[in-house]
């Protein structure tokens, strides 16, 4: 299966400037190619082929206006053209109904929060014996290796995020999968806001509420940013402080999701969750809490980790009345207000914790749809 491995990069000042040149050149090439295609569309002409755009790029590097494109690796510029090709393909496939709809490609800005470039094997990049990442026309960049790569990757993507941090990302094809512990246990999971996850065996995981806990710090940083003059150096520094504060929240949330999802997948042979309408809930007064929880990212982790470890994973449709059914006798007791956390079954008299009962019903329904 394909896995992505990301590591933090620590470029020197000179290497940071070289990467900035590469980001800028890749952006200009992308925008030039997009402009050519938009001009052809407005004129009613056929779209220029990728080979034509590549030839035009080679000619552009010989002109005084674009001669500085030769200061960066040619592979980076060619990959930028391929990114545009992929963006158009996704757009047209969406119009044809072959995939979810996405917008048409848009021009990139140097003020975009995220900048990235990609080096393929043709660029002759490598990982040195000293553990550094050698990039053409950039140099040997120090890498913080947090884990071992399972095999030699064929390409590397260098990313700069809104907080000014650099990362290298590798996508590798591997069959090396750690053997998970043998188990026959199965679990149903009910996701919520007060408790992030409640399992069918009665465990309750309190929601960390990372954004809520950082709101005071974020508010102070945002207020300081709003007082800075537009275009000033101090405003740029204040913007970076806001971005770093948000990055800390996102990193903490992602780490929590990874630890919890790994634990659940390792401990259980089958994992079942309820499909949630996140977009619908995000339009209510609970929007901030819903986004803070990050349910979609968590269930996505559960899904790919279950596939990696050979576990069973299934989503129960959100139309399933998990909160209305008695998990003991199956009697449907009707809808209940959200403030009702404990209730008794009108048929068998069983006492239920609302969330644990819902998780058990999700477990039963998950077993049914997978057998």
The count of C-alpha atoms lying within 13 angstroms of the C-alpha of 67, restricted to the half-sphere facing its C-beta, is 4
Q: Residue 119's beta-bridge partner residues? A: 156
Residue 233 Ramachandran class (φ > 0 left, ψ -120 to 50 alpha, else beta): alpha
Rounded CA-CA distance 258/210 in Å is 15
Q: Which residues are catalytic?
A: 190, 274, 355
Transcribe 267-289 into DSSP letters.
H-SEEEEE---HHHHTTSTTHHH
Residue 29 phi/psi, 5-degree rounding, is -65, -45
Pairing between β-strand 312-316 and β-strand 270-274 as defined by DSSP bridges: parallel
Rounded CA-CA distance 134/182 in Å is 42
Q: How many Å is the maximal CA-CA distance in the chain?
A: 84
Rounded CA-CA distance 371/369 in Å is 6
C-alpha angle with apex 265: 254 to 307, nearest 5 degrees? Answer: 90
Helix H or strand E encompassing 127:
strand 126-127
Residues 19/165, Cβ–Cβ less than 8 Å = no
Rounded CA-CA distance 322/189 in Å is 11
């Amino acid at each position: 299966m394909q896995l992505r491995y990301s590591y933090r990069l620590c470029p020197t000042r000179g290497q940071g400037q070289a990467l900035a040149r590469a980001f800028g050149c890749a952006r200009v090439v992308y925008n030039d190619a997009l402009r050519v295609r938009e001009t052809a569309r407005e004129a009613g002409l056929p779209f220029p082929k990728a080979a034509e755009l590549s030839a035009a790029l080679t000619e552009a590097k010989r002109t005084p206006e674009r001669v500085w494109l030769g200061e960066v690796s040619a592979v980076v510029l060619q990959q930028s053209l391929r990114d545009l090709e992929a963006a158009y393909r996704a757009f047209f496939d969406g119009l044809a109904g072959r995939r979810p709809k996405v917008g048409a490609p848009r021009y990139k800005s140097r003020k975009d929060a995220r900048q990235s470039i990609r080096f393929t094997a043709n660029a002759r990049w490598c990982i040195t014996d000293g553990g550094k990442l050698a990039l053409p026309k950039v140099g040997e960049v120090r890498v913080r290796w947090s884990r071992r790569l399972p095999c030699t990757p064929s390409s590397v993507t260098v990313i700069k995020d809104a907080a000014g941090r650099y990362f290298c990302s590798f996508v590798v094809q591997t069959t090396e999968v750690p053997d998970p512990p043998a188990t026959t246990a199965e679990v149903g999971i009910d996701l919520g806001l007060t408790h992030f996850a409640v399992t069918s065996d009665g465990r309750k995981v309190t929601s960390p509420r990372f954004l809520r806990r950082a709101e005071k710090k974020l508010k102070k940083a945002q207020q300081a940013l709003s007082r800075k003059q537009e275009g000033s150096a101090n405003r740029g520094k204040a913007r970076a402080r806001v971005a770093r504060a948000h990055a800390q929240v996102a990193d903490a949330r992602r780490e929590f999701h990874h630890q919890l999802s790994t634990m659940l997948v390792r401990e259980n042979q089958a994992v079942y969750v309820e499909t949630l309408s996140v977009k619908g809930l995000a339009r209510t007064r609970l929007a901030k809490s819903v986004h803070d929880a990050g349910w979609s990212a968590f269930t996505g982790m559960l899904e790919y980790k279950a596939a990696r470890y050979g576990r069973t994973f299934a989503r129960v449709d959100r139309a399933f009345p998990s909160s209305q059914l008695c998990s003991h006798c199956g009697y449907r007791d009707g809808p209940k207000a959200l403030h009702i956390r404990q209730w008794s079954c009108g048929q068998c008299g069983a006492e239920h914790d609302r969330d644990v009962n819902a998780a058990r019903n999700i477990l039963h329904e998950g077993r049914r749809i997978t057998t």
